[in-house]
């Protein structure tokens, strides 16, 4: 998700902390006690690879749902097969009823509009393992927050076995308090977080029971979905997955323009205003759209009878494989006219440059949601994005949400505990590559400045703090700009090429699984053949901040010796600007790795015949807490 907080935290006084002994190379990365047991059991290993005993559970869903747009209601029926790959016998099963977030009396991370409050997701029937479950019997069923827990299963789920579940439900889609989804008007809905979903059962915590309060987002297994969405005639449907019967539900001219877009290098208007006037669908008063999505963590869909549809295709590998990148939005909404093109460019740069792994899904649809407040929400193969006043803002949200394809979706990150492992990467990929979409964009400098300003404040908690405990300003800072800047510093510390190799190997090892922070740390250690704990500890485990001082510039024949002191505990690159008497400047760079031995002082030889006026920390490239000690003025003799 991309959201904006009005954070007005500022460093008023910088307190110098001299704690260098803590960061010597002997200090290894801390592993929590409960996780040591996991590594010892062999589901994970200290070299960063999934262990020989690694397992992940998964689910197949067959869903039939009908949407009643004017009432903002979706009724559904699902046949679910849940596969227990774990060595444990499961005596209970946990479902998530996300829209219980709107149930009267439930806890939320934000105030909800009263008009959206409900009595909760309505369950009509529930059958587990062939047995009808009395879901109102509290000795069997426990409903708490957004969790729906069926206890004392009459047929416990044995290791390496599966269980069939059938459930019918009805959910009201919020109209005012739209968290990531909702009804945008009486004929346009983005339906996410909408079906009873089996929670994750993993090797770390067993059943995930973290309540969905609105702040923390995904933690899902990798599943298969075969689903049907019934809507009134002339409603189009866009969803996670591949259409199975598009030719039978839309008029032939629309179908042929869709086919053209699949292979097109230019934007094709698949549905325009004239189509909306003349009607778009075939058949009677109700139309059933069939869709399949394989190997994905979740599904959503959007429907409207008033949105236009642009499509273009992106090339994702050297063989020339193409995926559809499309945008759906209200007619005449200027901000979205470039979005299909932004989506194409994003998918291509993510595939080719960073992370440099071919986009792993067959499509990406960008839906235009919030027209007032901006923001955006990732969904597998989709995003639900707001409208921005600037091109850079619109391009930025497009790239950010599409970048989430890799983290948390392709890599099954537990965002409820480790949001920096997905928001940080989405922010990093965007900061690194947004200029390719809009040359004037500069997210990088914004994030560098934000880290300089906020790191080390009371609200800045170590990234390793479980995200569910770090809400509000902590969440908005730690998981986004701070994590992104840490990845840039890591890239600088080990070099671009090795960084990319480590990142790609991390993705290669852990896609379709649930990596922990330590799987990330250990993979980078393993592939780089370096113990990077000197970097992991200050950036992810400790309180503190970065602060460099230009301490001295000693002029000598043919140049100068510049002394830089590191007084903050967090290691950053040395980026300086030398300004000469003739007003020209020179950039000086030294890698973050100069600090890996625990030293706190670095001498840099500058070769020049010019007269040096001053040397300063480049505040656009390095986060720095105290800018009063950043410049050294050379005194004339």
Per CB under 5 A, residues contacting Zn ion are 1-2, 423, 426
Q: Identify which of residues 394 and 618 has a Cβ nearer to Zn ion in the complex.
A: 394
Q: Identify which of residues 203 and 423 has a Cβ nearer to Zn ion in the complex.
A: 423
Closest distance between Zn ion and the C-beta of residue 420, in Å? 11
Closest distance between Zn ion and the C-beta of residue 471, in Å? 15
Q: Identify which of residues 4 and 142 has a Cβ nearer to Zn ion in the complex.
A: 4
CA–CA distance, 25 with 589 (Å, rounded to integer): 23
Closest distance between Zn ion and the C-beta of residue 224, in Å? 25
Residue 37: which H helix or E strand, with range? helix 33-41
Contact (Cβ atoms closer than 8 angstroms) between residue 217 and residue 417? no
Could you give the strand order of the β-sheet that contains 236-239, starting from the edge strand earlier in sequence? 182-185, 188-191, 301-304, 236-239
**Hunting for tokens 């301490």 — which residue is that?**
551
Question: Residue 559's closest CA among 610, 608, 615, 611?
Answer: 608
Contact (Cβ atoms closer than 8 angstroms) between residue 432 and residue 413? no
Q: Identify which of residues 141 and 426 has a Cβ nearer to Zn ion in the complex.
A: 426
Query: How many other CB atoms sit within 10 Å of the CB of residue 572?
Result: 29
Tell me the β-bridge partners of 566: 548
Cα torsion for 335, 338, 340, 346, to the nearest 10°?
Answer: -110
Q: Identify which of residues 90 and 402 has a Cβ nearer to Zn ion in the complex.
A: 402
Q: Identify which of residues 249 and 451 has a Cβ nearer to Zn ion in the complex.
A: 451
**Strand pairing class (322-329; 268-271):** unpaired
Q: Identify which of residues 323 and 397 has a Cβ nearer to Zn ion in the complex.
A: 397
Closest distance between Zn ion and the C-beta of residue 217, in Å? 8
CA distances from 282 to 242, 258, 300, 326, 552 (A): 19, 15, 23, 22, 77
Q: Identify which of residues 51 and 376 has a Cβ nearer to Zn ion in the complex.
A: 376
Closest distance between Zn ion and the C-beta of residue 218, in Å? 10
DSSP state of 315: E
Task: Extract the tokens encoding 177.
Answer: 């308090």
CA–CA distance, 8 with 163 (Å, rounded to integer): 51
Task: Extract the tokens encoding 479.
Answer: 């998981």
Q: What is the distance in angstroms between the CA of the first residue and the CA of the last residue of the chain? A: 56
Closest distance between Zn ion and the C-beta of residue 400, in Å? 6
**Hunting for tokens 């923390």 — which residue is that?**
216
Q: Identify which of residues 169 and 428 has a Cβ nearer to Zn ion in the complex.
A: 428
Residue 349: which H helix or E strand, with range? helix 339-352
Phi, psi of 201 (to 5 degrees): -115, 115
Q: Identify which of residues 402 and 560 has a Cβ nearer to Zn ion in the complex.
A: 402
Task: Extract the tokens encoding 242.
Answer: 């591949």
CA–CA distance, 622 with 443 (Å, rounded to integer): 14
Q: Identify which of residues 243 and 477 has a Cβ nearer to Zn ion in the complex.
A: 477
Closest distance between Zn ion and the C-beta of residue 617, in Å? 30
Closest distance between Zn ion and the C-beta of residue 404, in Å? 6
**Hunting for tokens 């300089």 — which residue is that?**
452
Q: Identify which of residues 142 and 373 has a Cβ nearer to Zn ion in the complex.
A: 373
Question: Residue 325's closest CA among 315, 317, 335, 336?
Answer: 315
Closest distance between Zn ion and the C-beta of residue 429, in Å? 11
Phi, psi of 214 (to 5 degrees): 115, -30
Closest distance between Zn ion and the C-beta of residue 204, in Å? 23
Q: Identify which of residues 405 and 629 has a Cβ nearer to Zn ion in the complex.
A: 405
Cα angle for residues 578, 580, 584 (degrees, 5° grid): 90
Furthest C-alpha separation in the chain: 92
Closest distance between Zn ion and the C-beta of residue 384, in Å? 12
Closest distance between Zn ion and the C-beta of residue 1, in Å? 5
Closest distance between Zn ion and the C-beta of residue 426, in Å? 5
In DSSP notation, 197-227 reads EEPPEETTTEE------SSS------EEEEE
Q: Identify which of residues 110 and 142 has a Cβ nearer to Zn ion in the complex.
A: 110
CA–CA distance, 404 with 407 (Å, rounded to integer): 5
Cα torsion for 316, 318, 321, 323, to the nearest 10°?
Answer: 10
Residue partners of 436: CB distance under 8 A and separation at least 6: 345, 349
Closest distance between Zn ion and the C-beta of residue 402, in Å? 10
């Amino acid at each position: 998700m991309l959201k904006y907080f009005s954070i007005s935290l500022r460093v008023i006084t910088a307190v110098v902390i001299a704690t260098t002994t803590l960061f010597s190379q002997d200090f290894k990365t801390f592993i929590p006690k409960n996780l040591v047991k996991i590594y010892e059991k062999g589901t994970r290993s200290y070299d960063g690879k999934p262990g020989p005993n690694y397992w992940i559970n998964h689910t197949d869903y067959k869903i039939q749902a009908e949407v009643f747009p004017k009432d903002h209601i979706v009724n559904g029926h699902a046949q679910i097969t849940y596969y227990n790959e774990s060595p444990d016998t499961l005596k209970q099963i946990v479902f998530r009823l996300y829209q219980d977030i709107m149930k009267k009396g439930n806890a939320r991370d934000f105030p909800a509009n009263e008009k959206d409050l409900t009595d909760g997701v309505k369950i009509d029937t529930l059958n587990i393992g062939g047995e009808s479950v009395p879901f109102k019997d509290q000795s069997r069923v426990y409903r708490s927050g957004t969790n729906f827990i069926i206890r004392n299963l009459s047929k416990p789920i044995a290791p390496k076995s599966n269980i069939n579940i059938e459930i019918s439900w009805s959910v009201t889609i919020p109209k005012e308090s739209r968290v990531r989804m909702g009804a945008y008007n009486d004929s346009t809905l983005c339906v996410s977080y909408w079906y009873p979903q089996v929670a994750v059962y993993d090797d770390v915590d067993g059943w995930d029971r973290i309540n969905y309060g609105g702040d923390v987002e995904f933690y899902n297994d990798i599943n298969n979905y075969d689903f049907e969405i019934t809507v009134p005639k002339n409603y189009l449907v866009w969803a996670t997955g591949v259409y199975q019967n598009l030719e039978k539900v839309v008029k032939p001219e629309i179908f042929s323009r869709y086919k053209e877009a699949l292979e097109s290098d230019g934007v094709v208007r698949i549905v325009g205003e004239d189509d909306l006037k003349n009607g778009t669908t075939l058949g009677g008063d109700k139309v059933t759209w069939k869709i399949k999505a394989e190997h994905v963590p979740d599904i959503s869909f959007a429907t409207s009878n008033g949105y236009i549809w642009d499509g273009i295709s992106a090339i994702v590998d050297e063989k020339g494989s193409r995926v559809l990148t499309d945008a759906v939005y209200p007619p005449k909404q200027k901000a979205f006219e470039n979005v299909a093109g932004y989506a194409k460019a994003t998918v291509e740069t993510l595939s080719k440059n960073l992370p440099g792994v071919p986009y792993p899904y067959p499509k990406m649809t960008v839906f235009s949601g919030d027209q007032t407040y901006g923001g955006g929400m990732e969904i597998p193969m989709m995003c639900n994005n707001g409208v921005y006043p600037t091109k850079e803002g619109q391009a930025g949200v497009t790239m950010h949400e599409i970048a989430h394809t890799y983290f948390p979706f392709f890599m099954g990150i537990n965002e409820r505990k480790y949001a920096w492992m997905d928001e940080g990467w989405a922010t990093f990929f965007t900061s690194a590559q947004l200029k390719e979409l809009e040359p004037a964009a500069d997210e990088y400098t914004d994030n560098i400045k934000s880290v300089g300003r906020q790191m080390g404040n009371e609200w800045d908690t170590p990234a390793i703090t479980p995200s569910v405990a770090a809400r509000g300003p902590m969440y908005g800072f730690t998981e986004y700009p701070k994590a992104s800047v840490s990845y840039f510093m890591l890239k600088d510390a080990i070099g671009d090429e090795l960084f990319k190799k480590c990142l790609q190997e991390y993705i290669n090892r852990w896609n379709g699984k649930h990596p922990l922070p330590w799987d990330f740390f250990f993979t980078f250690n393993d592939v780089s053949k370096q113990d990077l704990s000197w970097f992991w500890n200050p950036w992810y485990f400790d309180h503190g901040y970065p602060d460099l001082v230009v301490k001295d510039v000693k002029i000598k024949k043919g140049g100068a010796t510049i002394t830089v002191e590191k007084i903050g505990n967090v290691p950053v690159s040395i980026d300086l600007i030398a300004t000469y008497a003739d007003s020209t400047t020179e950039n000086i760079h030294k890698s973050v790795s100069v600090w890996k031995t625990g030293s706190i002082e670095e001498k840099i030889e500058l070769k020049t015949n010019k007269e040096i006026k001053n040397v300063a920390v480049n505040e656009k490239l390095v986060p720095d807490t105290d800018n009063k000690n950043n410049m050294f003025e050379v005194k004339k003799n």
